[in-house]
């Protein structure tokens, strides 16, 4: 799972899968929202490259399970700590913990976030709106602010923020979610400019339709409605998105992957999906 391969078509290598250069072995990788979905799978794939992991999430029991899996998959160490990105005190405590455990961070994956509700603006709820902006936008700002002191002394590090196609294309019922993800993209671009010259890299990984717990959470636990989102479609899986994240992080220090926009083949836009009958 953690091995990344590519194929060469040169004489004598046709059809052979060759391992990609591993530039991350022994590095310190910090992932927020690592208890499930993209975050958990990204941790697993990084583990296969022999990194040290700093994993944060609210659900510590599930976080511990992910850490155990990562240890079995080859992580040098898999360290966990409670993290709620909507709470500044929690973020600062997490950063203090990371400093005490590692003293540095080479890769930061700002993954924590999500969608809540599909109401039109006229029916929207403050609690849903505030949760999305707090986690998807302000959470990234809080974590970046607290972790940057652990990254700036070490050239070659990378910050990867997890965005969405929703940050680029708005759709009905998604006003606040789309806006919060558009904010993520703007934060990423501003941070890229601010860190120019430091040797740190900043990028955004923006998936389209992906089957994780995303729709269950967004639809308030209604599994029937969540399943209908993916009916007749092979959506992206957590493994697909994690592979893109790990690939972007594993580029040589002089290469910055500014943005990756990825969707399943059946989806051409948030509102344009080809479904099998």
Active-site residue set: 177, 181
Give the phi and the psi of residue 251 in degrees, each rounded to 5: -70, 155
* Cβ atoms of residues 109 and 30 within 8 Å: yes
- What tokens does 113 get? 């976030």
**In this structure, what are the phi and psi dihedrals at residue 271, rounded to the nearest 5 degrees?**
-105, 5
> What are the strands, taking DSSP E only, across 22-84?
28-32, 52-57, 77-82
Q: Output DSSP code: residue 123.
A: G
Cα first-last separation, the chain: 32
Query: How far is residue 262 from each of residues 65, 163, 215, 242, measured CA to CA in Å?
Result: 28, 11, 18, 12
């Amino acid at each position: 799972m953690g091995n990344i391969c590519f194929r060469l078509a040169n004489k004598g290598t046709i059809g052979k899968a060759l391992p990609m250069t591993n530039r991350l072995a022994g590095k310190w990788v910090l992932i927020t929202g690592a208890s499930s979905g993209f975050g958990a799978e990204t941790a697993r794939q990084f583990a296969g490259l022999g990194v040290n992991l700093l994993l944060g999430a609210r659900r510590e029991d599930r976080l511990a399970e992910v850490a155990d899996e990562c240890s079995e998959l080859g992580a040098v160490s898999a360290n966990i700590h409670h993290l709620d990105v909507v709470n500044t005190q929690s973020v600062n405590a997490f950063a203090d913990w990371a400093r005490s455990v590692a003293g540095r961070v080479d890769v930061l994956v700002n993954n924590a976030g999500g969608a809540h509700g599909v109401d039109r603006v006229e029916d929207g709820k403050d609690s849903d709106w505030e949760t999305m902006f707090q986690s998807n936008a302000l959470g990234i700002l809080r974590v970046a602010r607290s972790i940057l002191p652990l990254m700036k002394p070490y050239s070659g590090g990378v910050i990867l923020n997890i965005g969405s196609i929703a940050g680029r294309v708005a759709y009905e019922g998604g006003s606040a979610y789309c806006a919060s993800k558009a904010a993520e993209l703007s934060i990423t671009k501003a941070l890229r400019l601010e860190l120019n010259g430091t040797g740190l890299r900043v990028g955004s990984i923006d998936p389209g339709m992906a089957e994780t717990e995303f729709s269950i959470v967004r639809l308030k636990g209604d599994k029937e409605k969540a399943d209908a989102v993916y009916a007749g479609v092979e959506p992206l899986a957590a493994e697909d998105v994690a592979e893109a994240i790990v690939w972007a992080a594993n580029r040589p220090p002089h290469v910055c992957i500014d943005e990756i926009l990825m969707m399943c083949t059946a989806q051409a836009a948030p509102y344009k999906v080809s479904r099998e009958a």
